[in-house]
Structure 1
Amino acid sequence: MTSTDIATQELENPMDLSEYLFRRLYEVGIRAVHGVPGDYNLAALDYLPKCGLDWVGNCNELNAGYAADGYARVKGISALITTFGVGELSAMNALAGAYSEYVPIVHIVGQPNTRSQKDGMLLHHTLGNGDFNVFNKMNAEISCYVAHLKDPRDAATLIDSAIRECWIRSRPVYITLPTDMIKAKVNGDRLKQPIDLSIPKNDPEKEDYVVDVVLKYLQAAKNPVILVDACTIRHRAMEEVQKLVEASGLPTFVAPMGKGAVNETYPNFGGVYAGDGSNPGVREVVESSDLILSIGAIKSDFNTAGFTYRIGQLNTIDFHSNYVRVRYSEYPDVNMKGVLRKVVERMGKLNVTSSPPINNKLPASEQNSSSQTITHAWLWPTVGQWLKERDIVITETGTANFGIWDTRFPAHVTAISQVLWGSIGYSMGACQGAALAAKEQKNRRTILFIGDGSAQLTIQELSTMLRNKLNPIVFVICNEGYTIERYIHGWDATYNDIQTWDYAAIPKVFGADAGYQARRIKTRDELNALFADQEFNNPTSLQLVELYMPRDDAPAALKLTADAAAARNK
């Protein structure tokens, strides 16, 4: 009798490892698992239904990774299953994006059995050199925690630790599941104790000191403002920020990656700050402030319109998940959530100035225009007038990512984009994951704006949406190719051109039923009529709209950012 057999006999409630893993996923709110089947994960997939989990079944692993990203941004965490080597490598681009943008995905990789790995057998999906650790090493660089389930005696502990780290640090984790571990026995009684997902509390003395320092500068400031960015969302500090915005009344702005982090119907919401790419009037207010409460900032090039921020550290207090920086003094191991709560409680009277007006009115150049051409300056305020509360709005890298800056959201809108990683085609996969999460949450619309060039990379996920009976509204912006690349370099170069597709017909090829609707919109009147169509506004199945826009038109912020990128590339 082996030591493993003896250990199993000692368990009061033995449970198959795969069941334990999937029940833990269900516990943290996951209801569907993305991925692609492969021979090293097939037996594990059999456990999904008994654990209350649906299998999505994507067209390829890259798209599955994008979809898991979109699902996690709506639900808070997601799961992805791939197979050894070929599958996990196909998903790596998506997981790298999730890592860079703080998106929590539990990535489970089915592996050959442990004996085959130990013996270095010449198996399929390997590099043929007997090295079974090479892909582990690759994934470790884009994961915040790695769990190799090689021994039943510590497997359950490793699973719990991986899921906790994924949630707390809001980044992907990597779990390997060899085929001979799928049915290995672990202690099922552990499930009686939920995984502790609470954030470690700050040292009270240190936290109080930081709060006092913050309040000293905040109460002395003549015109303080709040600037909210993506890590507010990723590290689940939106409730604390909302209370700060409400209680303080201070002019509040979001960075592009922070869209959706603040209720934009608040009277003190002032729009998007992105340096020279800011909404009208915003740059002047933010950059003239004598104190900026910067919450969850990610100061990347596209998030700052080509590094055109003009904010001095001397006038800034930075709040993050693991430190607070007050001017040039940094306080490590202090989470922003506790600090923000106490700042609100002890705030006192502040000097409050007015915010620049932000609305969805058309710019002056478009208000009296008789043109029927759909331009970006006209489109994005018009979209803002059409959106509803609780919508999920997804924008692709390119014109849509920058155009949405000019849209004021209704309350409780979730915005999804990939401003930092910027992998084109991401948003189609993310739309599938987000639409599935929206279906679980009931009565939420999922709306995607994607360029025709980007759509060609991941169009297959329309098939997955149909298969899972999802009902997103997908706008394909037809403007003849890669617009953002044209503005950076190669305006008339053939490498920025694409083949024209009949996008509206593609879902039919994928088997769309009678409920599917496709439309081609080329004028403003046609789009206004579509936005007034109640059947379109409350879809029960996939809706796809070809939205025709000029090849040479782009949001002003994109043009400025592209110019900056072109200059850096020289």
Structure 2
Amino acid sequence: MDKATSDLQAEVDRLRHELQSLTIENKPSDNEEHITVSDYLLTRLEQLGVTSIFGVPGDFNMRDYIEDHPRINWIGDCNELNAAYAADGYARVKEHSIGVVVTTFGVGELSAINGIAGAFSEMVPVLHIVGVPSTVQLKTKPLLHHTLGNGRYPFDAYTKAAEQVTISQAKLMNKGHAATEIDRVLTDCITHARPVYLTLPTNMVGEQIPSRRLGVPLPRTPPANNPDVEAYVLEEIVKLVDAANQDIIILIDACAIRHDVRDEVNDLLTKTRFPVYSAPMGKTAVSEEHDRYGGIYIGSISDPAIKKKVETAKLILSIGALKSDFNTGMFTYSIPAIHTVELHSDHTLVRHAQFPGIGMKLLLPKLTAHLKQYQQGASQLDVPRFKLDVPKETDERITHTYFWPRVGKFFKKRDVIVAETGTSSFGILDVPLPDQSVFLSQILYGSIGWTVGNTLGAAIAARDKNLGRVILFVGDGSLQLTVQELSTMIHQRLTPIIFVINNDGYNIERNLHGMERKYNDIQDWKWTSLLTTLGDLDGTLSKSYTVRDKASLDKLLDDAEFAKAGKIQLVEVVMGKFDTPRALKAAAELSAKNAEKV
């Protein structure tokens, strides 16, 4: 099945859903029920498991309908960028649902667009609802506030900007098409795992439309694989497995999470017992306590034992690979295509042959059925235990070498762990995380400050799912970009633990360029006063700490009351200005070498 055929199949599936919807809509009824366009949209979101929507009030948006909804909460953010980050975090933790952000047009949506771009880059399903002027105003084009003020009406400009960072867009200009358009963009959002964009004019929010279409669930399943091509692909993979004589590993990556194949991958592991390793963006895609899990593979930056196991395997089954620079150790993967089978959401690669339209969601169960016969031999393959011991250091200063394995001992089952771009995301790579924990990072897009808003959304989703603690690791420089959202966390009575790495500035930037440059320095803050300044005015809802040495760090991490996370807590961790995690040092050196080649 080529791409054109795959696209045609997707359109057939959409039309099938539309036919089902029209059949219900056209069925005679004595009691035709109607619903507002806003309530139709909110009901669809409720069907997708959405319980919270993020945004900033604006005179054109639909916040009243959200606030009045009995089961969906309005979460007011400090700015639209943070709201978009929060919607991203909500969607990452609340799998099978989506994140939703509401802004006003122009000033609001453009402020949010960086957060939407990050979600697009990393394949996170987010709906961006933009409140716009009435349909009459959109046609007559008066000089309204939030427009560009130069005689050029802005909506094409704004929509064109949105088109670059969303998979699908809809303008609700006619109530007769409103339900169809809402269903279309939401279907695109959940099936492609990408953001979508929906403009809602002020006079459309209260328009009445038939509700019966809501009786047809939105389709979630990917297009069917061509059975003949799929059978051929399976046959070719089995031949390669036979030729590899059991010397096979599985390499799991981000798209296994984004495209909902965790269950299929776990079934493959259980029934084949092949060793499994993870790329950085695939961390926690499978349990890091699984007895067949060997650790993180990141090219030449990998632990030597892991690097050897992966790169000497005769066959690699790569699932959901996303081969960005930081995710591949600055493109130092040493796994030739001739030894690789790659499974993706919409195609499969078998060595050098590409098979468009053969998606992993439907292929994996059949592949497992073919490969389970190899379990006995695969079980004999040695998998060194992925562990990281806390080093014995005589110096009392807190170093990255000590800090990350030490906090690794602090983590618990079902914790949600968020690591900021740079020092934190590199530092935590070598730390094995507990079973059923959730790891969030933005390794591909890498927007500094992303984690703060993201933690807000992640904490609300974690509360919905009855997950464990939410723990954020963020640098002092990164936190200064988006610090306001700590206020929203206090307002929402969330209780994350926030570790602030205070190393006097942008550590990752120092390592990439300008180690001694003043532009990587920042003004120091009184970090332990942030939570009282930003909302906990009487100091009853929060607690803050500063740790400057190993003894004070150990004492805090061993404290049962602190570990309970009953209130929002901030820990300032004072580290050396130039101290750097091992993986970040290695990545920076490779980046410098690559830059010299250009």
Q: TM-score, normalised by structure 1?
A: 0.95
Distance 2:90 2:389 in 1: 32
Unaligned runs of 5+ in 2: 1-25
The verdict on how the C-alpha distance between 1:432 and 1:469 changes in structure 2, with shifts beyond 3 A counting, is: same
Matched residue, 1:357: 385
Matched residue, 1:212: 235
Report deviation, 1:566.
2.9
Select the residue among 272, 275, 292 that pairs with 1:248: 272
Distance 2:469 2:38 in 1: 34
Distance 2:199 2:405 in 1: 47
Distance 2:449 2:119 in 1: 14
Farther-moved stretch of structure 1 (452-461 vs 383-392): 383-392
- Residue pair 1:324, 1:336 contacting (<8 A) in 2 also: yes
Matched residue SS, 2:155: coil
Q: How does 1:436-447 map to 2 (within 5 A)?
A: 436-447=460-471
Report deviation, 1:356.
2.5
Report deviation, 1:550.
1.2
Distance 1:259 1:550 in 2: 27
Q: How does 1:127-276 map to 2 (within 5 A)?
A: 127-128=148-149, 129-222=152-245, 223-276=247-300
- Residue pair 2:545, 2:570 contacting (<8 A) in 1 also: yes
Q: Write the deviation string for residues 400-449 of structure 1: whole angstroms up to 9, x where unpaired.
A: 11111111111011110000000000011111110111111224210000
Farther-moved stretch of structure 1 (414-423 vs 189-198): 189-198
Q: Write the deviation string for residues 59-96 of structure 1: whole angstroms up to 9, x where unpaired.
A: 00001111111110001211110110000000111110
Distance 2:41 2:351 in 1: 44
Distance 1:247 1:277 in 2: 31
The verdict on how the C-alpha distance between 1:265 and 1:388 changes in structure 2, with shifts beyond 3 A counting, is: same
Distance 2:165 2:30 in 1: 37
Distance 1:443 1:102 in 2: 23
Unaligned runs of 5+ in 1: 1-6
Select the residue among 25, 44, 49 that pairs with 1:24: 44
- Residue pair 1:44, 1:182 contacting (<8 A) in 2 also: no
Matched residue, 1:70: 89
Report deviation, 1:357.
2.5
Farther-moved stretch of structure 1 (17-26 vs 505-514): 505-514
Distance 1:61 1:390 in 2: 29
Farther-moved stretch of structure 1 (43-52 vs 320-329): 43-52
- Residue pair 1:324, 1:330 contacting (<8 A) in 2 also: yes
- Residue pair 2:337, 2:351 contacting (<8 A) in 1 also: yes
Distance 1:44 1:19 in 2: 12
Matched residue, 2:484: 460
Q: TM-score, normalised by structure 2?
A: 0.91
Q: Write the deviation string for residues 10-44 of structure 1: whole angstroms up to 9, x where unpaired.
A: 99212110011011111101100001111110x45
* Matching residue's letter, 1:90: S
Select the residue among 86, 96, 108 that pairs with 2:117: 96
Matched residue, 2:21: none
Farther-moved stretch of structure 1 (377-386 vs 236-245): 377-386
Distance 2:334 2:265 in 1: 23
Report deviation, 1:493.
0.8
Matched residue, 1:4: none
Matched residue SS, 1:80: strand
The verdict on how the C-alpha distance between 1:531 and 1:208 changes in structure 2, with shifts beyond 3 A counting, is: same
Are 1:125 and 2:146 counterparts? yes
Matched residue, 1:61: 80
Report deviation, 1:247.
2.0
Are 1:284 and 2:308 counterparts? yes
Are 1:559 and 2:578 counterparts? no
Are 1:545 and 2:571 counterparts? yes
Farther-moved stretch of structure 1 (372-381 vs 295-304): 372-381
* Matching residue's letter, 1:175: L
The verdict on how the C-alpha distance between 1:59 and 1:10 changes in structure 2, with shifts beyond 3 A counting, is: farther
Q: Write the deviation string for residues 146-191 of structure 1: whole angstroms up to 9, x where unpaired.
A: 1111111111011111111111100000000011111112111122
Distance 1:10 1:175 in 2: 33
Distance 1:156 1:415 in 2: 36
Are 1:525 and 2:551 counterparts? yes
Aligned-pair Cα RMSD in Å: 1.6
Matched residue SS, 1:244: helix
- Residue pair 1:11, 1:187 contacting (<8 A) in 2 also: no
* Matching residue's letter, 2:477: G
Q: How does 1:101-112 map to 2 (within 5 A)?
A: 101-112=122-133
Matched residue SS, 2:413: coil
Report deviation, 1:234.
0.3
Matched residue, 2:404: 380
Distance 1:44 1:536 in 2: 37
Aligned residues: 558
- Residue pair 1:251, 1:268 contacting (<8 A) in 2 also: yes
- Residue pair 2:250, 2:277 contacting (<8 A) in 1 also: yes
- Residue pair 2:419, 2:440 contacting (<8 A) in 1 also: yes
Distance 1:213 1:381 in 2: 42
Matched residue SS, 1:52: coil
Matched residue SS, 1:314: helix
Distance 1:44 1:187 in 2: 22
Matched residue, 2:135: 114
- Residue pair 1:120, 1:131 contacting (<8 A) in 2 also: no
Distance 1:531 1:488 in 2: 31
Matched residue, 2:71: 52
Q: Write the deviation string for residues 123-143 of structure 1: whole angstroms up to 9, x where unpaired.
A: 111112224211011101111
* Matching residue's letter, 1:493: R
Matched residue SS, 1:444: coil
Distance 1:48 1:26 in 2: 14
Distance 1:12 1:221 in 2: 63
Matched residue, 2:33: 13
Report deviation, 1:291.
0.6
Matched residue SS, 1:133: helix
Matched residue, 1:423: 447
* Matching residue's letter, 1:247: K
- Residue pair 1:26, 1:51 contacting (<8 A) in 2 also: no
Identical counterparts, % of pairs: 43
Distance 1:206 1:355 in 2: 34
